[in-house]
A = this chain, B = another copy of it.
């Protein structure tokens, strides 16, 4: 147990998360600094302004990052899938709140200890930087999605984001997708209303592109009908 305090040995994302690629020794060093914690759906992982946690890796489940404006209106700015990385290292301020979308498990690394670790292990810092770059790229993907697409494309875009994030390997027709977001959360993320999201799903189901199975389950019947045109 002393040698594997975070349970890395059976970590489902050890090969793809930010910790991957570190040597055995470095990983153990890192593992000693963090702790693994589980959250239930709806729980706040950290709130805006909380600076105790510097970064975190999502081991299982799904997490949303959102902000609240002056009126207290929520705005979801990112979704995280397993192996996803939350980093606010050296940021001027932490302005996002992280909330569990489903029951989930994370490896949390406290700020002080991680900043020291990063300065002495440039490999680790490099991986953090790479992860932050990927976060930036997916923020750009989201900008693309909500900036110019109509309601249908936004909904299909979200389905594809989740399908790709929750499974490894390419998508196949018939795949069952667990969408842990409520309609309200989907709407908030996509910049739509609950009603519009619901209607789009109805349309997609009528077209035979998807089938709803229970409140959260969505079976992707024809992936090609969801993807944007490739010409």
Contact between A140 and B70, CB atoms less than 8 A apart? no
Contact between B90 and A143, CB atoms less than 8 A apart? no
Contact between B137 and A95, CB atoms less than 8 A apart? yes
CA distance A60 to B102 in the complex (A): 46
Q: Does A151 contact B (CB under 8 A)?
A: no
Q: Which residues of B contact A69 (CB under 8 A)?
A: 144, 228
User: Interface size on A (CB < 8 Å)?
Assistant: 45
Contact between B67 and A140, CB atoms less than 8 A apart? yes
Contact between A92 and B148, CB atoms less than 8 A apart? no
Q: Which of A71, A96, A125, A139 has the most CB of B within 10 A?
A: A139
User: Which A residues between 46 and 103 are near B, CB-CB below 8 angstroms?
Assistant: 67, 69-71, 73, 75, 77-78, 87-92, 95-96
Q: Mark A173-206, 1 if CB is under 8 A from B, else 0.
A: 0000000000000000011000000000000000
Closest to A115 in B: B126
Q: Does A108 contact B (CB under 8 A)?
A: no
Q: Which residues of B contact A118 (CB under 8 A)?
A: 122, 126
Q: Which residues of B contact A133 (CB under 8 A)?
A: 87-92, 132
Give 14 pairs: A residue, B residue, CB < 8 Å, sorted on A.
A67-B144, A69-B228, A70-B228, A90-B129, A118-B122, A125-B125, A128-B129, A129-B132, A132-B133, A132-B136, A136-B136, A139-B140, A142-B143, A143-B143
